[in-house]
Structure 1
Amino acid sequence: MTDKSNHDQKLSGSFDASDNAAVVTRRRALIMGAVTASAVISIKPALAQTAGSVLNCEIPVPGNHAAGGYIGADGKIVPPDTPGAFPPAGRHFTGEEVKRAMNGRSLPGTSYEQSKAYVNYIRRLQSGQSGFTCYASLQMPR
């Protein structure tokens, strides 16, 4: 059958099963394409917003679980009278500040050694501790 007569046959309403399956398959593909495009449009702004919020999230040093403790050079919480330990940071650090510190810079308002101890503390954070979600977000590839 030529393409013209096949087209005329479809217009006249005489379909066979394979024609119907092809139409359904094409329709399904178009619907899936529309759904996928909609998902991409919805997800991209969400990812952009997430990336921004990761850099703005905050990590307390130390967190609520260790309030009053000092930070040892290795990042462990130690009693205040421990030699070489650093007092709690006077503020929370943003994800952006921590990310820079993990790449070799110092945390704002800290000495090199103090920053190193605080970063070691942050690296030791575990699920359920203040700041863990922020730190975990920094570890996710983009």
Structure 2
Amino acid sequence: MSDEMPTNGHDQTEAADAVPSRRRMLMLGAVSAGAVVSIRPALAQTAGSVMTCEIPVPDMGRAGQFIDPAGNVVAAGTKGAFPPASRPFKGEEVKRALAGAQLPGTTYDSNRAYVSYIRRLQRGQGGFTCFASLQMPRG
């Protein structure tokens, strides 16, 4: 008779381990629901942090140097170059500037130079992670 439980105590333990108890299933469900509830706010927080991250122009390793019209870092006082930005730009400000708006506290020409600098950021430079995250599509 296949519907009967095994009579051997060892076989009964194995059978009980193979079939999850109702209590265990409820616990797994509760854990899964908690994960879903906590992921959504985390995604919203990530999107918010991207908008508040900062990009210094130039990065701290080259603080005090100027930015030429092409976006290159040059020696302080270079003719035609612009002094460093007075403060780091927020991710939201940079995102708007990449879409055609002007960075706060800049002139038309310094804005173009700073945006060129930001577009050329590479891994390891201050502000790169913020800039890279601005490039990722949001769903």
TM-score range relative to shorter protein: 0.7 to 0.9
- Is residue 114 of structure 1 aligned with residue 105 of structure 2? no
Matched residue, 2:35: 39
Number of equivalences? 128
- Is residue 69 of structure 1 aligned with residue 69 of structure 2? no
Q: CA RMSD in A?
A: 2.8
C-alpha distance in 2 between matches for 1:73 and 1:36: 53
Once the two structures are TM-superposed, the CA of residue 80 in structure 1 deviates from its matched residue by 2.6
C-alpha distance in 1 between matches for 2:69 and 2:24: 60
The gaps in structure 2 that reach 5 residues or longer are: 6-15
Matched residue, 1:57: 53
The one-letter code sitting in structure 2 at the alignment partner of 1:92 is P
Matched residue, 1:135: 131
- Given the superposition, is the C-alpha separation of residues 28 and 123 from structure 1 closer, same or farther in structure 2, using an over 3 Å criterion? farther
Once the two structures are TM-superposed, the CA of residue 36 in structure 1 deviates from its matched residue by 4.1
Q: Structure 1: which 4+ aligned runs deviate by more than 3 Å? A: 27-37
Question: How many percent of aligned residue pairs carry the same amino acid?
Answer: 63
More displaced stretch, 98-107 vs 123-132: 123-132
- Is residue 125 of structure 1 aligned with residue 121 of structure 2? yes
More helix, by proportion:
1
Question: With structure 1 as the length reference, what TM-score do the two structures score?
Answer: 0.73
Report the secondary structure of 1:116's partner residue.
Answer: helix
Matched residue, 1:85: 81
Once the two structures are TM-superposed, the CA of residue 98 in structure 1 deviates from its matched residue by 0.5
C-alpha distance in 2 between matches for 1:60 and 1:72: 15
C-alpha distance in 1 between matches for 2:136 and 2:92: 14
